[in-house]
Each structure stands twice: as C-alpha cells, then as structure tokens.
Amino acid sequence: MTAPSRPFDGLLIGASLATMAAPSGYGEIADGALAWKDGVLAFVGPRSELPGSPASLANDVIETRGWVTPALVDAHTHLVFAGDRAREFEMRLQGATYEAIARAGGGILSTVRAVRDADEAALLAQSLPRAQALLRDGVATMEIKSGYGLDFDSERRMLRVARAIGDTLGVTVRTTYLAAHALPPEFKDDADGYVAALCAWLPRLHGEGLVDAVDAFCEGIGFTPAQTRRVFEAARALGLPVKLHADQLSDLGGAGLAAEFGGLSADHVEHTSDAGVRAMAAKGTVAVLLPGAYHVLRDTKLPPLAAFREHGVPMAVATDCNPGTSPLLSLRQAMQLACTHFRLTPEEALRGATVNGARALGLQDRGVLRVGLRADFVAWNIRHPSELCYWLGGDLVQTVHAGGARLA
C-alpha cells in the first residue's frame, strides 16, 4: 500500500527558527515549524499554526531541538588548488611581507606551478575535502574562483573541478573567473598582453557554461584599474556580473570601480575610501569582509565598518579559503573572526554568512527562511544563534539541507 499524499515533502518541528527575514535581528520563532515541498520552503512559522498534525502533513517529520538558520553561504573562496604554502606561513612569522613573498616568486605563482602540474582528477581529489569541511560546518552554497592556472587549459581545469565539486556534494557552486589574479611567467613584464589573452579566453569558457562571474585582483602587485576595467568590459560584453578584490593593500579606487560596473561585491576593502563606500551604497554592491586573511597577515588596517553601516552597504562574511593568506575551512570561524577583529555583532556576522552572502553572489532565492525560497537550512545544537560566533571550532551541526535534501 502506498503512503497517502501529503502536502509537504518534509517537516521539521520543535527547534527555534532564526529566519533572518527582517532587516535586523534574527527573526526568531520559538517552537517553530519548517516545511518544504519540491525543494522550496512551504511553511515557516510557529508549530501551533500548522494546518494539521505533523503526521498528516509530511511523510518525513523531523522533531528536534536547538536552532535552525538558513544554510550558510560562503561568497569568496579559492578552494580549488594543489599543494600548500605552509612554508610561507613560517616566513611571514619571521617578518616577510605578503608583497615580498610574492615578488620573490612565492605567493600565488607557487600555487600556479602546483596547479599546472595536477591533472583534473588530482585537483578534484585535493580540493573536494576542503569543500566537504565547509559543508560539514553548515555551508550549502559556495563561490569558487579560478586564478591559480593563469593559462587557458589550467583555468578551464580549475573551473571544471569547481563544477564537479557541486555535482559531487549536492551543494550550489558559483564559479568565478579570476585569471586576472597574477601575472604568469609567460607574460613577465607584459601585463597588458596577458590581460588581452585572458579576455580572449573568457568567451570560450563562458560558452562551455563554466563561468558565473568575473573577478580581478586590482592592486599594486596585481592589476591596475585600467587593466581591471578591460577585464570588466569583457565580462559586460557577455552579460556576466563582476566582483573585485578591491583595496586590500592600498586604495586604488577598486571599490568604486566595482560599483561603476554594478558589481555584485567588492572584497577585502580594508583601504576603501569614503567615496568608494558611497559608490557601493549607490549601486547596492556588497562589501565582502575576509577576516581570515586579515588574521593570517596580521593586518592592522580595518575596513571602514562604520561607514558601511552609515551608508547601508550590506556586509557579507566569507572564508577566503586559499593556500596562502587564509587557509580557513570554516565559515563559522570566519564569522567568529569578524566579530573579534572587526567588532561585528553575532547577528551581523550571521547575516553576512546568509542573507548578504547570497546577495554577494547575486542569489535572491536563499539566505532567508521564507516561504517560496529554497529549502536550504541548517539545524544546530545551540541554545542561541550567538553561539555560532562564540564557539571557537567544535561540531555544532545536526543536519544540513539544500533544496530539501539532507547533505550532512
């Protein structure tokens, strides 16, 4: 005998809900109920308002305690790479600067060599565990950048591996083309020539369905604003949104440039000027805060947090998972660092890893527990949402669901 048809595919009851649905606060619902149908939330509210008994509403009924939040969104990662750069960590502890390491042939180019030497299977085998670690800590949507290949075949391989991670784990992966990350050896002293080449590669990669957005490293040791503009114009010609590594080490006007192109986000932004903040506010560009890199580099220049708040610039929080400056495999740890170093409130940090993280990826269908949005949510073993930023590590996740399917 087949089970009778019920209105919901699944129903979670008993936990408190942090819906994040209001402009501020957690949007708390005590003794809540969360139901989904066809991968979409179909009921979000108090259990007392369910239109029937739980057993009559869904075959899959989960009764639990603790809290449920939207699944986390990691809006800035470089997690597809080969090898590691632990030796550089030691060098920085001994006083070497990020710029000095890069100019000596270390930094990004050392990872480029490792990526070029790895075939697709090896690159996936090394990268998949990093994505699994993020998933186990509550992440169901992650951005993954290229930028460690710096030639057509290697950039393509990185983007293909990023897509494979999403297919393997069932998480949403948004791919970002970051060939404008560093100057490869083949184009030494010819940055303009390299920019022309990477702009020529973009239509081919986009045509293969491998690119969701375009990024660049606009910095003294990266690419100039003029070169970045050429990259953005190539993206705009294809209808691709842009993001930018902006104002991390100096103020070259990167945040304003990203805003000029309607950028989804400006990331790092430690040196962003008030004019850059105002430009971001006018265009709705999200400030993606990356406290992992700030922590590892022992930076002292804070992003203009008060200005972001004053002008209403949304602030996301992301891991910046990468082998050199932020070997961070927990978005919850990034949230904690954002509270500790940047003085975000736990509510701001959670908003940064849900609502605003989704916005930084151009995704309007997640990041909030609301009827009609994706059924991406996490059940946590906590007594209050502030614990997500309070605990340094630890296993707080009960379950992670994406599109109603349990992933962890």
Which residue ranges make up the annotated binding site for N-formimidoyl-L-glutamate? 148, 322, 324
Q: Is residue 251 within 8 Å of 272, Cβ to Cβ?
A: yes
- Going by C-alpha positions, the residue among 369, 385, 387 that lies closest to residue 377 is 369
| Residue given tokens 């690159």 in the structure block | 123
Count other Cβ atoms within 10 Å, centred on residue 323.
24
Residues annotated as binding site for Zn(2+)?
Answer: 76, 78, 245, 320
How far apart, in whole angstroms, are the C-alpha atoms of residue 173 and residue 332?
Answer: 18
What is the layout of strands, in order, in the sheet containing 377-380? 28-29, 16-18, 67-70, 377-380, 397-402, 405-406
Residues annotated as binding site for Fe(3+)?
Answer: 76, 78, 245, 320
Count other Cβ atoms within 10 Å, centred on residue 5.
6
How far apart, in whole angstroms, are the C-alpha atoms of residue 223 and residue 169?
Answer: 34
Residues 6+ apart with CB under 8 A from 1: none
| Residue given tokens 């057509």 in the structure block | 152
Count other Cβ atoms within 10 Å, centred on residue 363.
20
Residues annotated as binding site?
Answer: 76, 78, 85, 148, 181, 245, 248, 320, 322, 324-325
- DSSP annotation of 114 reads H
How far apart, in whole angstroms, are the C-alpha atoms of residue 134 and residue 266?
Answer: 22
Q: Is residue 375 within 8 Å of 36, Cβ to Cβ?
A: yes
Residues annotated as binding site for 4-imidazolone-5-propanoate?
Answer: 85, 148, 181, 248, 325
Q: Rounded to a whole number, what is the distance in angstroms from the first to the last CA of the chain?
A: 31
